[in-house]
Amino acid sequence: MKITASNTQQVTQNLAKSTNETFQEKMKVSDNPSFQERLGDGLRNVANVQQDAAELAKNFELGTENDIAKVMVSQQVSSLAFQLTLNVRNKALSAYKDIMNMPV
């Protein structure tokens, strides 16, 4: 399409429309997880780490696992993951309280 002074507005509108449609298609196609999905995945990962650590500790107590270092590292990873989750929860709760206490 040839751009002239008379059809500049039409060309601009068509370009804006196609750009907006392309952007919306990219947003649909790309896999951008929401905050809720990311938070849920994080909590599931923490739960899985804790289950794995508990399983390794149980296996060590039963004598099927002989590597104490592996058991101890998994316990520390589990503890660290739980502490991180607890700190994220505390920060979110603190932010919520701050927002609720704001004067309107």
pLDDT digits (tens, 9 = 90+) for 30-80: 578 898 999 999 999 999 999 999 999 999 999 998 999 999 999 999 999
Residue 10 and residue 56 in one domain: no
C-alpha to C-alpha distances, 53 to 69, 73, 97, nearest whole angstrom = 12, 9, 34
Q: Confidence band (pLDDT; 50, 70, 90) for 104?
A: confident
Residue 91 and residue 51 in one domain: yes
pLDDT at 98 over 80: yes
Residue 21 and residue 64 in one domain: no
Residue 38 and residue 24 in one domain: no
Query: What SS3 class is residue 52?
Result: helix
Domain that holds residue 25: 1-32
Query: What SS3 class is residue 99?
Result: helix
Residue 49 and residue 88 in one domain: yes
Name the domain count of the chain.
2
Q: Confidence band (pLDDT; 50, 70, 90) for 21?
A: low
What is the amino acid identity at position 101?
Answer: N
Residue 91 and residue 56 in one domain: yes
pLDDT at 26 over 80: no
pLDDT at 28 over 80: no
Residue 81 and residue 57 in one domain: yes
pLDDT at 16 over 70: no
Distance (Å, whole) CA 49 – CA 58: 14
Residue 68 and residue 20 in one domain: no
Residue 27 and residue 46 in one domain: no
How much is the average pLDDT of 8-23?
Answer: 60
